[in-house]
Amino acid sequence: MKPEAFRWLSFLSFARLAISLPVFLSSSHAQNLAGDEALSKVLIDGEDWQLVADGFGFTDAACADAEGNFYFFDLGKNTGIRKISPDGKVTTFIENTPKCSGLKFGPDGRIYACTQGSKKQIVAIDVPSGTITVLADDVQPNDLVVSHKGFVYFTETGKGQVTVVDANGNVRVGATGINKPNGITLSPDQGTLAVSEYGGTNVWVYRVERDGGLTAGERYMTLRAPVGKPDGGGDGMTTDAQGRYYVTSHVGIQMFDWTGRLGGVIARPQNKGTVSVAFAGANLDYLYACSSDKIYRRKTKAKGVLFFQPPALTAQEK
């Protein structure tokens, strides 16, 4: 066994041990009626969701750039890729694009998208010209994430798989056997890929190999589901700099720590579907949410991660 594989398995074993350890708390602390302690490390007292913009058809494809601008797509009205600056100004970023259910910036400055028009493709859109380059054709993309090495990972919900496209346009299957994979994100060091199930209650994690391949698949987080429903409706995902995962779902935005433990559920900004989230704002400390016909945000103690940038080096790596 390679040393890297041993470290990965050791990490998973440690995480599983942490999850299974008994918690010696009184019943009142176990219920934590004042709010989950993990959520208290993210949410700010007195801060709630703020309406940023409304009047849309159906918003999706949340992402951000290095300046903290927030981007999304209105699938209901198909008015191009929209941009919201940190001060709340809404503009059209690129017009006349196909419908996009997933958007992310890449290390080359282009914006990558899952298109939902007459052709379902993975494309790279040049900024600001809007020139489109097709990277994968005849696919069923839902959402995507792009690493700093230029690997594009996207979910194909109908196929139950994650597919990988490299910088040269080579397409390969990354992982299979997922129950309607939907949301997808990376850990801060980009060594782990996480995928949410829309048709189940699992969030899967995979080790990202140097060649971009995915190995060591594991059901690692369990989504809460509404009473009477067999699935959690895992949808769009994002990650913060501390390695916490935020998964939109039927019951709200479920937050997990790096060991896979559920820290709590952040209530949806309105009683409508919230399908996509991303950290944006000048310091990447606002959690933005695509909630049906509106865009909301709330200030947090957390800070987001931009995957098109190389991860920060550890002290040992330096």
Give the whole-angstrom CA distance, residue 190 versus residue 147: 7
Contact 53, 297 (CB under 8 A): no
Beta bridge partners of 274: 291
Among residues 281, 278, 300, 316, which one has the least CA distance to residue 72?
A: 278
Tokens of 53: 């913009």
Question: Exposure of 48 by Cβ count < 10 A (0-12 exposed, 13-18 middle, 19+ buried)?
Answer: exposed
pLDDT tens over the chain, length 318 residues = 544 444 454 445 444 434 333 322 222 233 333 444 579 999 999 999 999 999 999 999 999 999 999 999 999 999 899 999 999 999 999 998 999 999 999 999 999 999 998 889 999 999 999 999 999 999 999 999 999 999 999 999 999 999 999 988 899 999 999 999 999 999 999 999 999 999 999 999 999 999 999 999 999 999 999 999 999 999 999 999 999 999 999 999 999 999 999 999 999 999 999 999 999 999 999 999 999 999 999 999 999 999 999 987 544 454
pLDDT tens for 110-128 read 999 999 988 899 999 999 9
pTM: 0.87
pLDDT value of position 287: 98
Give the whole-angstrom CA distance, residue 306 versus residue 147: 9
Helix (H) or strand (E) holding 5: helix 3-20
Portion of the chain with pLDDT greater than 90, in percent = 82
Those residues with Cβ within 8 angstroms of residue 61's Cβ, 6 or more apart along the chain or in another chain: 71, 72, 73, 100, 101, 102, 103, 113, 114, 143, 276, 290
Give the whole-angstrom CA distance, residue 89 versus residue 85: 5
Contact 236, 62 (CB under 8 A): yes
Give the whole-angstrom CA distance, residue 169 versus residue 151: 9
Through-space distance between the first and last CA atoms of the chain, rounded to whole angstroms: 27
Topology of domain 36-299, CATH: Neuraminidase (2.120.10)
Those residues with Cβ within 8 angstroms of residue 152's Cβ, 6 or more apart along the chain or in another chain: 106, 112, 122, 135, 136, 144, 145, 146, 164, 165, 166
Residue 198: DSSP 8-state = S
pLDDT, averaged across the chain: 88
